[in-house]
């Protein structure tokens, strides 16, 4: 998670935000921002997703089976 932490730190600093500012915008505690930026592995996915969203960083899932999954999943809806 260190690479994610580095990416988040970079985006936060480029946006001119302190950790407290980002935490407030994302609706998480300031410790969450510190933990993400320092590669703590126990950060909850929901918290990470909020931080990514606050920084306008998108997350995507991809695999060799993803197109088949999407076709099958859409067919069941």
12-36: pLDDT as tens digits: 999 999 999 999 999 999 999 999 9
Domain count, the chain: 1
Q: Is 38 helix (H, G, I), strand (E, B) or coil?
A: coil
Residue range(s) defining the domain that contains residue 27: 1-77
* pLDDT band at residue 2 using 50, 70 and 90 as cut-offs: low
CATH of the domain at 50: 1.10.260.40
- Distance, CA of 42 to CA of 40 (rounded, Å): 6
Query: Which DSSP helix (H) or strand (E) runs through 9?
Result: helix 2-14
Among 3, 11, 1, 12, which Cα is nearest to 44's?
1
- What's the pTM? 0.83
- pLDDT value at residue 73: 86
- Distance, CA of 46 to CA of 77 (rounded, Å): 25
Among 33, 65, 63, 66, which Cα is nearest to 47's?
33
């Amino acid at each position: 998670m260190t690479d994610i932490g580095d990416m988040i730190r970079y985006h936060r600093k480029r946006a001119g935000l302190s950790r407290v500012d980002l935490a407030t915008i994302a609706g998480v505690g300031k410790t969450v921002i510190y933990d993400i930026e320092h590669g703590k592995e126990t950060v909850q996915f929901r918290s990470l997703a909020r931080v990514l969203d606050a920084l306008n960083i998108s997350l995507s899932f991809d695999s060799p089976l993803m197109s088949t999954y999407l076709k099958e999943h859409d067919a069941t809806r």
